[in-house]
Structure 1
């Protein structure tokens, strides 16, 4: 603590003390100077919320966004746009914030957050802010928190779907697309919010005790594999971020018993006394586990006689009828079932929810047959772990791969699946790394590199998303033979050549539809 010449706190310390004590929607947020870093969907939700609470808000961001800029003006938020960190830092310092709220994409060592932290100014993510503001209505929702390298969105949606089937008012939020603050401001409130958490959001969660420490009702890390290593600085830091999901869990820590790292996260977590460890997996489950017995998904986690009995949920054949029987999808179903059962949803209600659930587009989405081959859009496979799950479910694959690898070496992925590859089409800005992995581990597999060039059409710019994907699909079709599956599972982020992974998937589907 900084002391004045008289031995008391200075103004900065008093400001920080006031901020850290704020633990309710109904506390006094008025007049607080809050800098919001980033003007994406999260940044805008933060600004909108804090303006409503009476704070003085200034959004600092790097890329113009006419629609959101206009909305900031309407709600009464200040804003500053500059594409360089020094300009943004100058504006931040001049504003003199009491609190900084950072959007998820800002690295832990970002100059703007480092500046604030060096001066003792609290820096929060939107999840901590949401936890402090969760009591806007009398209906204070339980939080069910989900993370993992792969499968987060599907499991989050499915868990919320199960909770609704159980008669609860529930919604998915967080990294899934609806900011947590938008969910919390719903005037009716919720019984439960299923919060998808990225490693970026988890990085900002505080440990220990205090008003801003998130305490989930139930939590899950679905799986763990290297990802975002460039952002976190290494696998240890990435693991530590993911492990935070289990901290202070109240009732159930759900983990993947086939993934030792998720089990270790639970073992090392500081949880509320009485919280149980509940496992899921594709094998026959132990007591306190969910699994598969003779083709039936079963719950031994919440049966009163779980040492000798189990609840039957659905069959693998029924999942196949819904197009969700691939091994990684079965794991997602089991994890969601465990989380919903923790919140009291009955087995029959869970079964009903599973059998009327439809996964999002671009997640192992079946596109049918073209030119004798089967086509699958798994554009959401933005890392090697997700691509591994898709490849593992198939036998003969023409694989469309590449994009932004985020510092991850995909050599192991290529080596693991070389035997099932009938051809590879390489896209993206980091093609050299993919080609090197193919040369090292699958040198005999035919491959085509898609180098961006002008398509010859005036309406399609050189290197555009449409031009890249059209050529990739045509190349894949030329490599595929009858009975093969052409799989878009890029094992990489999309923003080098596409707006996002849905855009990449849409471009793929459009190109497939044009095949003759």
Structure 2
């Protein structure tokens, strides 16, 4: 259950930092357990006031517009994952000797004595898809499970609810892991590591270190990406982790697997980790065609999900059945339409360069729609790697000049349309320009490599605008 277990919450003074999707359930749960809860929140907008009123009706104290000072008598802070570690509130907590937990740590500590074990997934990209694939495989094996964490059911609800689970498929972000010191998963995977959220973590080393926390105390398998080349690699994180005796490192690769790996042989996903005599034997799990869509990065996701499921003891047939039953979320390499021999693909979820790189690698001849909020990213490596696949590029959004300059340096012969507009009609014009550049057999790919909030409420709305524009072409 982790050290310093709090079993009696009655009258304990807990400060919840941040309202949001994790703060409100945390405040409700703690209040329900008898704690004296104060919520502090930086913002004081209409949404925050609405949430505050709901909590105050229960008897929770809420302080809006003041997330920096530590309330008197605080014995524990439970923070929303997005709150940066360098906030004055946490410095004050440190000075006062007050521990800081995230919502994941809270959920871990609130688990009952015979709680379902966690199969945990983190990584820069592919977490949600992998966790959903994992849940689908576990369900196919007849297990009671749910995809929880960053997606689906809230972790607190899963832990405190009436539903008895056999095992949970848990998506964890680097933020959540930073604030979850006592989490110990049954088995865990780090899918990949690429620079992301460095403004929050402070450095690539700190970011990787927080991701690597997911391996701490693993019991059965630490699943890593055997194809990863960067430093530190996910395999390096496994080496540094303090795991339970007998826990194994299990790699996944898009090539033929070695012993203790899962990989691909002649269109078949195979397991050489969870078999008798893995020096000589391999177990067929599924066909590449069972993976939807069978793009390289998605096959890697499927192998990671399969490795975690196999670590839990799931039969090979359930891997195949679970992958066949899985349907990806909207805006993740979603096929929108074919118009005049050109395929239109919505991968609005590709909100960083690493996700866009995987998306661009899946097609041979691309008219690329990109741009938005760069979040401090650079684009030279992305453009250099994709240059030979690009028929043309259409750029939108606030930081599009960064991509335009990278294209000029690494793909000077690729025609570029730079759209200097951020109104709602910009996506329609972008799709029209992409249609003009495309030839039959090409793919028009929305893989922005940027966040969406400069022009759209979120990546879903951006993808919806793209799909609507494509439908207007077809009409």
Query: TM class by shorter-chain length?
Result: over 0.9
Q: Which residue of 2 aligns with 1:146?
A: 121
CA shift, 1:305, in A, is 2.6
Q: Which residue of 2 aligns with 1:308?
A: 280
Q: Which residue of 2 aligns with 1:110?
A: 87
Q: Which residue of 2 aligns with 1:78?
A: 61
Structure 2 distance, partners of 1:275, 1:401, is 42
Q: How does 1:374-453 map to 2 (within 5 A)?
A: 374-452=343-421
Structure 1 distance, partners of 2:88, 2:130, is 35
Deviations 1:15-40 (A, max 9, x none): xxxxx97525xx11111222212211
Q: How does 1:222-371 map to 2 (within 5 A)?
A: 222-260=191-229, 261-319=233-291, 323-371=292-340
Structure 1 distance, partners of 2:335, 2:129, is 16
Structure 2 distance, partners of 1:189, 1:63, is 38
Structure 2 distance, partners of 1:477, 1:153, is 31
Q: How does 1:172-183 map to 2 (within 5 A)?
A: 172-183=147-158
CA shift, 1:56, in A, is 1.6
Structure 1 distance, partners of 2:196, 2:75, is 33
**Closer, same or farther in 2 for the Cα pair 1:282/1:161, shift >3 Å?**
same
Q: Which residue of 2 aligns with 1:458?
A: none
| Secondary structure in 2 matching 1:106 | coil
Q: Which residue of 2 aligns with 1:507?
A: 465
Q: Which residue of 2 aligns with 1:69?
A: 52
Show structure 1 runs of 5+ residues with no match: 1-19, 207-212, 453-462
1:229–1:406 CA contact under 8 A, matched in 2: no
Q: How does 1:18-33 map to 2 (within 5 A)?
A: 23=5, 27-33=7-13
| Secondary structure in 2 matching 1:36 | strand
Structure 2 distance, partners of 1:177, 1:356, is 17
| Secondary structure in 1 matching 2:382 | helix
Structure 2 distance, partners of 1:73, 1:513, is 46
CA shift, 1:166, in A, is 1.3
Deviations 1:471-501 (A, max 9, x none): 3222222222222111111112222322222
**Closer, same or farther in 2 for the Cα pair 1:346/1:361, shift >3 Å?**
same
Structure 2 distance, partners of 1:21, 1:240, is 21
Q: Which residue of 2 aligns with 1:8?
A: none
CA shift, 1:177, in A, is 4.7
2:184–2:214 CA contact under 8 A, matched in 1: no
1:229–1:408 CA contact under 8 A, matched in 2: no
2:238–2:249 CA contact under 8 A, matched in 1: yes
Q: Which residue of 2 aligns with 1:480?
A: 438
CA shift, 1:63, in A, is 4.5
Structure 2 distance, partners of 1:131, 1:155, is 21
Does residue 134 of the first structure (1) align with residue 111 of the second (2)? yes
Deviations 1:333-379 (A, max 9, x none): 11101100111111011111111111111111111212431111111
**How many positions carry a matched residue from both structures?**
467
2:337–2:470 CA contact under 8 A, matched in 1: no
Structure 2 distance, partners of 1:220, 1:63, is 38
Structure 2 distance, partners of 1:332, 1:300, is 17
CA shift, 1:95, in A, is 4.6
Structure 1 distance, partners of 2:102, 2:129, is 23
Structure 2 distance, partners of 1:177, 1:41, is 12
CA shift, 1:189, in A, is 2.6
Structure 1 distance, partners of 2:257, 2:85, is 39
Question: Which of residues 50, 54, 59 is equivalent to 2:39?
Answer: 59
Structure 2 distance, partners of 1:94, 1:291, is 52
CA shift, 1:503, in A, is 2.1
Structure 2 distance, partners of 1:112, 1:426, is 40
Show structure 2 runs of 5+ residues with no match: none
**Closer, same or farther in 2 for the Cα pair 1:372/1:424, shift >3 Å?**
same
Question: Which of residues 126, 144, 148 is equivalent to 1:169?
Answer: 144
1:400–1:486 CA contact under 8 A, matched in 2: yes
1:166–1:349 CA contact under 8 A, matched in 2: yes
Q: CA RMSD in A?
A: 1.8
| Secondary structure in 1 matching 2:425 | helix
